[in-house]
Structures are given as C-alpha cells and as structure tokens.
Amino acid sequence: MSAQAELSGRYVALSGGVGGAKLSLGLAHLLGERLTVIVNTGDDFEHLGLHISPDVDTAIYTLAGVVNPDTGWGRRDETWTFMCALHGLGGPAWFKLGDADLATHVERTRRLRGGETLTGVTAHLAERFGVRSRILPMCGAPLRTLVDTDQGTLAFQEYFVREQCRPAVRAIRFDGAEAARPSAQVLAALKDADGIIVCPSNPWLSVDPILAVRGMRAAIRAAGAPVIAVAPIIAGKAVKGPTAKIMHELGLQPGAATIAHHYAGLIDGFILDREDQALADQIPVPTRAISTLMHTLDDKTALARECLQFCTALVRTRGRDRQAAGANS
C-alpha cells in the first residue's frame, strides 16, 4: 500500500455477516475512521416485536471487540436467562437472543419507533460501543431477502436460522428492492472512496441484497475507485455457511471462478485463496492469490492490507492505461 493511501485513503467495505465482519475488523484496524462498512440489511426482521438487524449487529460487535469469538455473532460473556425463561413460557425460542444482545434490539426498536432512522440508530449504537469506523445500513427502507425453496418461500431468518439452511434453494429474491435507495451517507461514502472492497460474505445471500438496492451498483461504478472482491470460498468449499450448498442448488459450479463471474461488471480485481491460484486464468479481472483464512487478528489485518495494496495497484495500472491511451490519441 502506498504511504499516501495509508495516511489519507478512505475505503468502503460491503459486508454481510461473520466473514464480512472479520475482514472489516482487519480494515478497521488499519483505517480507523477512514473505513465505512456498508452492511446488508436484507436479513433484518421483526421478531418478538423487535427490529433485529443481524448483520449490522455483527459488524458493530466485531468492530467493538465484544463479539462472541466462538460463534462470530452475538456478544461475548453473554447470559441466556431471558431465552430460557421465554422457552419456559412457550414463546418462540428458535432465534437465540442473549440477554445483553437483547438490549441492542430493544434500544434500536425504541429509537426507530421514536422516529429515528436505521442509519441514525446504527450510528448511535456504534458510537456507544466505541466503534471508530462508520457502519452504515445499506438503506433505510425495508428490503427483505426471500428464499424460494423446495419447501416454499421462506423469509431469510426462517431459512437461515429456523430451518438451518436445510431446504434446497430455487431462487433468492429481494422484496422491496425497487423502493429501497442508498442513503445519502452511503452515496457520500462511495463518492469519497479510494477503494471499495466486497468482503468475503455470501454473494447471493449477503452481498446481492446490497447490490439490489436501486442505484447502488450505479453509485459504486460512478465512484471511480477500484472495486475488488474477496472470495468467500476455498477449493470449492465455503469458509463458513451455505455458500457452496446454495451454488450447487442454483446449478452453479461451487468455486472462486464462479463467484468472480457473478461480480462481473462490478469489480476491477479479485482476491482468491492461494489454494485456488490455478483458477486465476478463468477470472476476467486481475487477481491476487493469497491466504484468505482469517483466524487471528493478524490474519484479518494481513488480508485487509492486501486489499488496500491491491486497490492502490489497480489505481496505478489504471493511471498507466490512461497515460498510454493519451499517448496513443
């Protein structure tokens, strides 16, 4: 990464849940307040009268260092008294809500009912948790991911949590996408970006909802900054979650090359795992093959650094291309 980018560059990450939050943490470690994470809210749902934003919370908890290290979601040192009591009363217990986590949902819901925006509430919560980077919900209006399966259409959390991703996926839809718009804050962050990084989240379930927000793709391309994506799959297997299973069910070859093609037209570069180096030839944009597994904070920071360096390199290449084009004209 150039000293220039390290000192002043502003970056945007597009993130879903756990995998995306891990890379976001590495990026936050390097960039601090120069990082904006645009987070999927297609997973949001009303449950027990509460507005729950699972991916936003995973981003906040991860960047705040309070995430449960065993699961990657929820809070560390959590207690489960509420959930046990609710179960005892015959209430719905399929979506696990820790006692401390519950406070986040209650406070979010309270503020939304009071007229605040999801963007505003998220900023408040992130600030209370001491997060320096900016976390932005992808949009304000409700966009809801629906999964058409062999067992009918399921809301995202029904598919993902209640049914544990068991039903076979036929299609994925984004209810409300037409009415959803990127917020002013999202548009401003993209406009100011020196690089945009699509985190290693599930492309179909976690990144596509972000891209489905009307005007989001155009805003990303209009930003003019290099856009790169990091593969969430190694040797045809998802690092976490149902990515490979879903690709198979959608009739796609589970692998990094398929994912790079899925992002065709959006990305300028693609990072795949060292194990998949041989696939680079099948990918229509410049690639880097490095270790993409993120166990430790060092892993996350190293991958984040590679992302920033890749963006910088893509800018330089583009500059050279433009110079060459100018010389030829």
The 8 Å CB, 24+ separation contacts for 212-217 are: 212/42, 212/143, 212/174, 212/177, 212/180, 213/138, 213/139, 213/143, 213/177, 213/180, 213/181, 213/182, 214/177, 214/178, 214/179, 214/180, 214/181, 215/181, 215/182, 216/138, 216/182, 216/186, 217/266
Residue 101 near residue 109 (C-beta atoms within 8 A): no
- Smallest gap, in angstroms, from Cβ of residue 116 to a copy of itself? 12
Residue 302 CB coordination number (10 Å): 15
98 binds a copy of itself (CB under 8 A): yes
CB 107 to a copy of itself: min, Å? 4
Under the criterion CB under 8 A, does residue 91 sit at the interface with a copy of itself? yes
For β-strands 237-238 and 50-52, DSSP reports them as unpaired
d(CA 263, CA 173): 17
Q: How many CB atoms sit inside 10 A of residue 300's CB?
A: 22
Nearest residue (CB) to a copy of itself, 88 versus 265: 88
Residue 83 or 199 having the CB closest to a copy of itself: 83
**What are the structure tokens assigned to 282, written together?**
């099948």
Q: Which of 68, 76, 107, 309 binds a copy of itself (CB under 8 A)?
A: 107
Of 64 and 172, CB closest to a copy of itself: 64
Q: Tell which positions 27-56 bind a copy of itself, by CB under 8 A.
A: 48-50
Binding segment for a copy of itself (CB under 8 A), chosen from 79-87, 195-203, 233-241, 311-319, is 79-87
- 128 touches a copy of itself (CB under 8 A): yes
Residue 106 or 280 with smaller CB distance to a copy of itself = 106
Which sign, positive or negative, has the C-alpha torsion 213, 11, 305, 278?
positive
Q: Please tell me whether residue 124 binds a copy of itself under the rule CB under 8 A.
A: yes
Residues 245-304 that bind a copy of itself (CB under 8 A): none
Q: Which of 4, 71, 79, 164 binds a copy of itself (CB under 8 A)?
A: 79
Window contacting a copy of itself (CB under 8 A); options: 10-18, 83-91, 152-160, 259-267 = 83-91
CB of 89 to a copy of itself, least distance (A): 5
Q: Contact with a copy of itself (CB under 8 A): which of 68, 109, 117, 282?
A: 109
Residue 126 CB, nearest approach to a copy of itself (Å):
11
Q: How far lies 117's CA from each of 110, 179, 300, 328, in Å?
A: 11, 16, 31, 51
**Whole-angstrom Cα distance, residue 208 to residue 205?**
6
Place of tokens 């229509």: 284
Q: Which stretch of DSSP H or E encloses residue 134?
A: strand 134-137
- Considering beta carbons, is residue 101 or 194 the nearer one to a copy of itself? 101
Q: Residue numbers of the site for a copy of itself (CB under 8 A)?
A: 48-50, 75, 78-79, 81-86, 88-92, 98-104, 106-107, 109-110, 113, 124-125, 128
